[in-house]
Structure 1
Amino acid sequence: MRRGRAAAAALAVLAVTAGTIAVTQLGGGGGAEPAGAKNSALPPATAPVERGDLRDSAQADGTLGYDRQRKINAAAAGTLTWTPRTGSTVRRNERLYEVDGRAVRLMYGAGPMYRTLKAGDKGRDVEQLERNLADLGYTGFTPDTEYTELTAAAVKRWQKARGDKQTGEVGPRDVAFAPGKVRIKTVAAATGDLAQPGAPVLTTTGSERVVTFQLDVSESRLAKAGTKVTVDLPDGGSAPGTVSSVGRTAKPGNDPQDDGPKVTLTVSFDQPDDIGGFDQSPVTVNLTGETRKDVLTVPVNALLALPGGGFGVEVVRGGAAREVAVELGMFAEGRVEVSGGGLREGMKVGVPRI
């Protein structure tokens, strides 16, 4: 995870700052001057107090891939007589594979094709099949959960168009369901191999490109479902997207040097058809969390730990420097939101020499 600002890093800076102040302000064994007192020694460098928008941003390494991976298993024993090409896309009513010259075709739906459907059957799988038939133009029935003689007649017309025996029945040897068109990721068996019921034939994915990446659990607030992001692509371009899913289980990350718990997130592109690049290519996900509008900010390393507690900055003006206490807001982009102490845009505050 690469961030414009991480809370842990900010705390580390403050800890170092506090330690530095303990040394630099307690000169000659004397106590530190109270906030508001003028110091004769000027800081080694200054930076301006700025006014503007502060964005809590982050970057994460991601992987370009495809969504909804699943296996397609053989529905019947026989010889594989046709398989699709790896990387090809299969749409509704197109062949997924053939066994003994009989094609298993893709239909759209969330549920599996687990039985042979015939007149008199009822269930959600019936409605799923009927909606596909209707979308393909084989109508004459009302898509519902009942497989009637009208459904069987539509199936026979579909079978005739395919050149199959017109039985009016449809089963796993004829149809496999998927949520939408699929991309062929791998082919587990070659033409001429013997297929066994339940044995894998294909591995498919959805056809749209997605990005997966991981975030520390402590930083997951930056990317909830619906969060807008931009993705830096392998070709040097970038594309907008949206966090479409956030894992519910925290697991160790992919980096062996960072075993902190992480959640896995998925990004869907706003225009997925425009996304190119090889499968599993590395990409960068750019996230923007909270934005603070029109606030005063100073560099994080301008902060001083005050003896009585809290933090301040060293204001330099008219050849003299004085400490003023400030209230801290959001940390981001190497800066911190500050208020109080009479600060105004354009004032100079002390910082370490770079």
Structure 2
Amino acid sequence: MYSNGLILNFRQILKPKTLRFISTTLPSAKFKNESGSTLNIFDRNTKNLQRQRAAIAEDVNLYDYLKDEIGFRLADRVFDIKRKFKLAADIGCNRGYISKHISPDSVEELILCDVSQKNLDTVSVMDGIRVRKQILDEEYIEFEPNTLDLVVSCLSLHWVNDLPKAFKKILESLKQDGVLLAAVFGGDTLYELRSSLQLAELERRGGLSPHISPFTEVRDIGSLLTNAGFTMLTIDTDEIVVNYPTVFELMWDLKGMAESNAALNRSVHLQRDVQFAAAAIYEQLYGKTDPETGKVTIPATFQIINMLGWKPHPKQPKPIERGTGEVSLKDLYKLDEIIKEIKTVKNDSEGR
């Protein structure tokens, strides 16, 4: 897939774990200090300003390639659910990365929610879907209880300070047997850039500063959804690798996507000598040479956590009671023999 002169590769990249000096993953974006008060990790005003600026940029279309791909995949997952949802909400819709791919066969009415009116004005949906537009900050999700059949979100919830609260609010807004389908960046996102910046600052400054915001791990998403009250969870990950000419194009595109660092303790200024050192380290550690053209590119890995959760309903499938199984796991190696034996017993009983 080609976009903005870059190649999107869907493949695995070797991750040298020895270069991960700092843990940047949190089960929740909030933590408590010694006094017991809750502290925010992300500066929501900064993040909203970044999104507003990206929305009004003249070249905003150039930076849609990654989120468009992820939005298309999410919309395809909505289509896989064989149900027509009467009322759905797209939280943090941005420029409609999911909404423009949703089929009227899947959704009757869609509420588009974003912090930017400019984004809401530019979103387009397929004919046949009724649309409502609403200014909404993902930090403060408010809908009437038990009104929505489906909630979708594409790459916006990872900037929320209180994910447990956000998930609970979404659960409250859903009807029984309603569905949450969302995608966020995972903990392995931009590990190449993080490692290169850490090594560059160690070499040039003798210390480290946080330049990349923390991301949530897969295991934490499952716990958060379960604690919020969702059932029948499905959580999986994708890895999308984008090849860039240099680290500078990567950082420029992150700014255009409004995915720049918005952590409260971030280091705003990145010195020029550190930038050039990071670029050299990045190319040395991760650079790939095209055998045909001889050009060197650098890969940037984006780990996508996809989550699917259902609001409980009495008629939903439930696990059988513990201890009611008829076959031990230790006998799985002879499963074929057990099945043949069961079929033989069944045929004998029918013959009688």
Common topology (TM > 0.5):
no
Structure showing greater radius of gyration is 1
User: For the superposition of Structure 1 and Structure 2, which TM-score range results when normalised by the shorter chain?
Assistant: under 0.3
TM-score by length of 2: 0.21
Larger fraction in strand: 1
TM-score by length of 1: 0.20
